[in-house]
């Protein structure tokens, strides 16, 4: 099926579709004559690992919010089943789910325009994962990068860690998703979902569409203390990561301490000057300007002065989000109610699809 030809190109995203052994890259460009929402099912998920950081927002959440204005059907899941592939304290997990819900809402996810739900509250995800797992070979999973990386870190990995890309595929296919916003490091996992859709269709008849990837054009945000690695919640250096709940003073301190170099001029040279280039990239992203524009703005400043400008831009962008997260966190009942309503909507979509799958597989 030539689903890639139906992927409408929009200005914010790049679209990747895998067809057999070929991958096509659709570069960003404005759609013409589009006055209504695009058809298709958008799905993506995020693990409840606490409050998102600057990189999460610019690399994913900002795009998620924009997609609500692009597509007629949008779903976002807090994928708590995925989170338990690593040891979790139960109470901390509950708190993290609430924090993630509050953060998504504060960033602009609107439950009236998108379905926001907690993955574990829709049991069909796990059921479809088992069926797809029975169609997946062990060598196929062994070659996925996340397993290689995380199993090396722990010296060994759990069965859940080994098979969680299959659960990812189930998350996507359960809603017959056509578009999936992902990071570049997740492309191979999406390709598994495409492969499993094809395998299922070949075995049981045409049923699942092959989902396209939506890649944001935003550059990856690097660690403030080590610009050779990306910004991470798990970074042991507290000054390396800017969180959405950081106060203006927190942000100013972290940006002031950001690693740059001994050249005072502000330029954008990612290879030779990764530290200052990271600041330029962040400044451009949060201010809505191009890299060239913010570099021109910084003419005549040294990096110390420029850091103050960057910090102020980040504070202005995230202060309303920080305050809204605080407000939402204070009303756990409201968050629980929103997630319950979202799960009910998700189940209403998942149940009939799962009924058809059971019939196709031969369960009844």
The residues carrying an active-site annotation are 150, 230, 233
The DSSP element (H or E) to which 253 belongs, if any, is: helix 248-256
310 in Cβ contact with 281 (< 8 Å): no
How many other C-beta atoms lie within 10 A of the C-beta of residue 135? Answer: 16
- Specify burial of residue 281 (Cβ count, 10 A radius: 0-12, 13-18, 19+): buried
Distance CA 141, CA 139 (A): 5
Contact 231, 53 (CB under 8 A): yes
**Rounded to the nearest 5°, which phi and psi values hold at 73?**
-135, 115
Residues 125, 190: Cα–Cα separation, whole Å:
16
Reported in sequence order, the residue ranges of 167-311 that DSSP labels E, i.e. its strands, are: 179-181, 212-216
Q: How far, in Å, CA of 224 to CA of 276, rounded?
A: 10
| Strand locations in 5-160 (E) | 13-19, 22-26, 38-46, 71-78, 115-118
**DSSP-derived 3-state class of residue 2:** coil
Q: Are strands 212-216 and 13-19 parallel, antiparallel or unpaired?
A: antiparallel
Which residues, listed in sequence order, are joined to residue 23 by a DSSP beta bridge?
Answer: 18
Q: How far apart are CA 46 and CA 56, in angstroms?
A: 10
């Amino acid at each position: 099926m030539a689903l890639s030809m139906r992927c409408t190109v929009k200005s914010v995203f790049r679209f990747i579709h895998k067809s057999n052994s070929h991958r096509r890259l659709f570069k960003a460009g404005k759609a013409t004559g589009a006055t209504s929402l695009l058809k298709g099912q958008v799905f993506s998920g995020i693990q409840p690992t606490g409050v998102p950081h600057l990189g999460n927002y610019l690399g994913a959440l900002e795009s998620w919010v924009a997609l609500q204005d692009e597509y007629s059907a949008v779903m976002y899941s807090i994928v708590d089943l995925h989170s338990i592939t690593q040891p979790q304290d139960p109470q901390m997990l509950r708190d993290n789910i609430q924090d993630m819900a509050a953060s998504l809402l504060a960033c602009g996810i609107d439950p009236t325009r998108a379905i926001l739900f907690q993955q574990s509250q829709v049991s069909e995800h796990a059921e479809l994962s088992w069926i797809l797992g029975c169609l997946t070979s062990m060598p196929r999973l062994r070659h996925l990068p996340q397993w290689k990386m995380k199993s090396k870190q722990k010296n060994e990995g759990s069965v859940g860690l080994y098979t969680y890309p299959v659960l990812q595929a189930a998350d996507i296919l359960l809603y017959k998703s056509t578009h999936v916003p992902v990071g570049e490091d997740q492309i191979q996992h999406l390709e598994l979902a495409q492969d499993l859709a094809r395998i299922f269709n070949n075995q049981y008849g045409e049923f699942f569409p092959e989902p396209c990837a939506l890649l944001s054009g935003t550059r990856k945000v690097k660690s403030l203390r080590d610009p050779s690695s990306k910004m991470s919640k798990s970074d042991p250096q507290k000054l390396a990561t800017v969180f959405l709940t950081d106060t203006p003073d927190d942000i100013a301190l972290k940006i002031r301490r950001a690693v740059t170099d001994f050249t005072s001029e502000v330029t954008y040279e990612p290879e030779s000057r990764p530290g200052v280039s990271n600041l330029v990239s962040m400044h451009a992203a949060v201010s809505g300007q191009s890299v060239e524009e913010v570099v021109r703005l910084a003419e005549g400043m040294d990096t110390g002065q420029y850091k103050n400008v960057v910090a102020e831009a980040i504070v202005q962008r995230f202060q309303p989000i920080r305050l809204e997260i605080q407000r939402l966190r204070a009303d756990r009942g409201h968050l629980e109610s929103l997630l319950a309503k979202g799960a009910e909507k998700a189940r209403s979509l998942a149940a009939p699809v799962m009924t058809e799958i059971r019939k196709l597989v031969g369960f009844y």
